[in-house]
Structure 1
């Protein structure tokens, strides 16, 4: 079949999935404009419910705006630590973002006017967010294939970030993405390496016909 993949191509897809990492450590270096465009095109080719394409990308080039985002993240980092109770100090020792060191910063947002899109969202309005997550995952896998690191930062107040970037009413930022060159990719997810959490057993997450009464 002309649509089929060779074994090498299939192996490359699974390798990108397995070796994708949420990167927090970057080294200096600009990202080629053609590569950056390929990453955005990969994101834009993501599936979306009702083909609504709800993703919007704001590239941050002004250093003052980047610093303002860093400040918002730091405020939320402290709030998160307070909510974590006895794990708060452990959390504060983690490196949770690479905004200062990365080459590129993008804020990914849900577009405004999403209520007009009913197809696939009448009973599950959150499918707009699921669609944006697919776009981010596409960009993540493409970044890994290009040998670039990407990190997803979610520690911020969405209303304050929306105001900072002048987003219209109804738009909502859902991710701050850090992109850049890396000295090496983590051999395992960073939070697993830091002992924060371990990957769960897939067998406990796959059911047949119904949710089990007890696990």
Structure 2
């Protein structure tokens, strides 16, 4: 069983570096991307990081559509524009004005887009029988891994959620049972903000540890 044993322990310096990468992760928007293309090895390293994510029942329920074609990006951008107008209408007064001033995607500006799909199995999955969304959560874990690897490679990544998933599926000719979980824009950037952009622009305030940790049970 020796070949299955991993005795690797990490130093305090390595632990601090991981923490720095975690706290330096940012959602990068279109006005920050540079036109320089990503190298294939860099793209592969980011996707391989996704493949290292935990998945319920070792189901690995993910597929990645790598998009560089300008016409495909334009079609996806059209869905964003439509959904973004609907999104703006959900907010009122100053919040709506602030919303309209935000740059919320980089679909056309980013050299690379990646659509990440959940691919459910047609059979029971270990660990997913009581909580069926665990497969989707596994895909989210893969995206987070990709985000952190991208940041460590000094690559910007932005997650676009203001999209109609069915229209994106149609543009990408995705199989019927595939479910879009994330649409990612990637590329080198001229700036990583010191704080999340929405925090800087006072869209909301950052929660502190004591605000979100409950011990034992809710009172």
Counterpart of 2:34 in structure 1 is: 27
Counterpart of 1:40 in structure 2 is: 47
Matched length: 211
Could you tell me how far 1:85 is from its partner in structure 2? 3.1
Pair 50,2 (structure 1): closer, same or farther in 2 beyond 3 Å: closer
C-alpha RMSD of the superposition? 1.4
Matched, 1:13 2:21: no
Could you tell me how far 1:6 is from its partner in structure 2? 1.8
Contact 1:52-1:117 within 8 A present in 2 as well: no
Map residues 49-64 of structure 1 onto 2, 5 A cutoff. 49-64=56-71
Contact 1:46-1:131 within 8 A present in 2 as well: yes
Aligned counterpart in structure 2 of residue 210 of structure 1, from 210, 214, 217:
217
Aligned mates of 1:125, 1:97 — CA distance in 2: 30
Runs of at least 4 residues off by over 4 Å: none
Could you tell me how far 1:115 is from its partner in structure 2? 4.8
Aligned counterpart in structure 2 of residue 82 of structure 1, from 79, 89, 112:
89
Could you tell me how far 1:204 is from its partner in structure 2? 1.7
Contact 1:50-1:117 within 8 A present in 2 as well: no
Counterpart of 1:122 in structure 2 is: 129
SS of aligned partner of 1:152: strand
Could you tell me how far 1:152 is from its partner in structure 2? 0.5
Counterpart of 1:3 in structure 2 is: 8
Counterpart of 1:100 in structure 2 is: 108
Gaps of 5+ in 1: none
Residues 140-190 of structure 1, C-alpha deviations (whole Å, 9 max, x = no match)? 000110011101111111111111111111211121101111112011001
TM-score by length of 2: 0.92
SS of aligned partner of 1:84: coil
Residues 100-126 of structure 1, C-alpha deviations (whole Å, 9 max, x = no match)? 211211111111x43524321222111
